[in-house]
Amino acid sequence: MTDQETKTFDIVFEGVGTSTGKMRNDIKVHFVTMDETFDLATDEGPFHGGDGTAPPPLALFNAALTGCIMTQIRAFSKRLKVPIGKVTVKCRMHWRGEQVGREPYTTGPVGFDLDIDFDSPASTEDQLRLLEASKKGCFIETTLMQGLEVGHRLQIDGDWIDA
């Protein structure tokens, strides 16, 4: 394969979660593409009626976005020949919620901000080139930028209905 040939590939993850405590969820995530399986858990603190036995889902989301961009920076620095040292990323995620009376609250994203330090001797132009490539290669960041619909199905009496 030459440098100019296009190669496509699929990355597939499947997760199955089971409620196992007041608000705890045990989740088995299968990375289908690499045939790897990971056991993860989420829980909520007392605010949501949980016991705080695992991180809340949004903490894992923050870690996933932070780790994704950090991975791409380190992988692409080698490909692009942009030297980097220690990589530090600060990720701030902000949502706003609204609740009317005792109704369930609704939420919406306000913004996600990443402060990135490569500790690199490379030129500003090369560092920006590395960051742009890393942003385009970060699966989570590119997903957030799409505004995709999330499909839902609900099982009722053994049948799946679109919800």
CA–CA separation, 101 vs 140, rounded Å?
Answer: 34
Quick one: pLDDT at residue 2?
64
Look up the pTM and report it. Answer: 0.86
Q: How do residues 127-137 score in pLDDT, each as one tens digit?
A: 999 999 999 99
Quick one: pLDDT at residue 38?
96
Does the structure show a pLDDT above 90 at 147? no
Percentage of the chain modeled with pLDDT above 70 = 98
12 in Cβ contact with 33 (< 8 Å): yes
37 in Cβ contact with 82 (< 8 Å): no
How many beta carbons lie within 10 A of that of residue 35, not counting itself?
7
DSSP3 helix / strand / coil % (the chain, rounded to 5): 30, 30, 35
Query: Which stretches of the chain are assigned E, i.e. beta strand?
Result: 13-19, 25-31, 36-42, 88-98, 106-117, 153-156, 159-162
Q: How do residues 40-56 score in pLDDT, each as one tens digit?
A: 999 999 988 999 999 99
- Three-class DSSP category at 7: coil
Q: How do residues 76-125 score in pLDDT, each as one tens digit?
A: 999 999 999 999 999 999 999 999 999 999 999 998 999 999 999 999 99
Instruction: List, in order, residues 6 or more apart from 116 with CB less than 8 Å away.
Output: 69, 73, 87, 88, 89, 131
Structure tokens at 117: 């330090």
Residue whose structure tokens are 């209905």 = 161
Structure tokens at 65: 């976005």
Does the structure show a pLDDT above 70 at 149? yes
Quick one: pLDDT at residue 156?
87
Mean predicted lDDT score pLDDT of the chain: 93
Does the structure show a pLDDT above 60 at 145? yes
77 in Cβ contact with 56 (< 8 Å): no
pLDDT-derived band of residue 6, with 50, 70 and 90 as boundaries?
Answer: very high
Give me Rg for the CA atoms of the chain: 20
CA–CA separation, 74 vs 88, rounded Å?
Answer: 11
Does the structure show a pLDDT above 90 at 148? no
